[in-house]
Structure 1
Amino acid sequence: MRERGPSARRARALAAGAAVVTVAAGLGVRTVADGDLAKYAGDALYTVLICALVALCAPRARPVVVAGAGLAVSWAVELLQLTGAPAELSRRSAVARLVLGSTFNAPDLLWYAVGAAGVWAVLATATSRRSGPGPRTSASR
């Protein structure tokens, strides 16, 4: 069921903007840094981008759901690299190389979690500010 109304449209617009900013940040990191810093920042930003796409598709999802879905997709893609299928696809397509990667690297799993944790923290803070003072709601968890 598609959610309608000004708040869903606003949430989708914010998620789309976050996706664009995340891609720009990833490209920026690659231009000013190299080595492990660029690689692991890219891993965290990969998960942030996936979270933004989840929020775009499900604008009313709770922060923990958005972050958890982004982390699950990131980990699934990384674990899929153990099969060799992404490596084969990456040899044929630059897009596949960007989306799927090619080689499993265990530390990437940690950096995906860092990205998801950052998304959760930002969304949970934004959600608690919107709901105003008082006890935390289940929407912020």
Structure 2
Amino acid sequence: MSLAVRWTRLLMVVSAAGFAGAAYAIRATMDGPIEQYSGAALSGAIVYTIVIFISPLISPLPAGSAAIAYCWFIEFAQLTPVPAALSQRSWLARQLLGAQFDLIDVAWYPVGVISLVAAHWLVRARTHSRTDPTPTLTS
């Protein structure tokens, strides 16, 4: 495993912890739409970091697509009774699966993911421009 992959994975763990900490801090200090919307956006961001942790060399667009698809899958699964039943029994299940469907969350997951896709794309573009200099024509 390369050093870049190790650093990327470490950065994703730190990022996920930071996003989770921010979500819990907002939940503890605020109430209402800011709490709800930021929670969904930060959940999407956490899922994005998990995707990058699992596959550090993945491109930004496929990583973002996978993160949003997973978030939507979990949200739409809440239309069934399974997540609610599991959430009643376990705090961890409630954090991972939620308890009830909310259409607003479907719109806010991409907000958290798209900003990270853009940042990931910029970092990759900058890294590739440093390691792959464009050849110049000489006469």
TM-score under structure 2 length normalisation: 0.89
Matches within 5 A, 1:49-88: 49-88=46-85
**Corresponding residue number in structure 2 for 1:96:** 93
Give the RMSD, CA atoms, in angstroms.
Answer: 1.4
Is residue 2:124 matched to residue 1:123? no
Equivalent-residue separation in structure 2 for 1:71 and 1:86 (angstroms):
19
Equivalent-residue separation in structure 2 for 1:81 and 1:114 (angstroms):
20
Unaligned runs of 5+ in 1: 135-141
The amino acid of 1:93's aligned partner reads: S
Equivalent-residue separation in structure 2 for 1:122 and 1:29 (angstroms):
23
> Structure 1, residues 35-72: CA drift from partner, whole Å, max 9, x if none?
11011100000010011111111111111122111111
> Structure 1, residues 90-139: CA drift from partner, whole Å, max 9, x if none?
111111111101111111100011111111111111111212279xxxxx
**Which of 15, 20, 25 is the matching residue for 1:18?**
15
Larger Rg: 2
Question: How far off its partner does 1:5 sit?
Answer: 0.8
Equivalent-residue separation in structure 2 for 1:29 and 1:61 (angstroms):
31
Is residue 2:17 matched to residue 1:28? no
TM-score under structure 1 length normalisation: 0.88
Q: Among the aligned pairs, what percent are the same residue?
A: 31
**Corresponding residue number in structure 1 for 2:37:** 40
Q: How many residues align?
A: 131
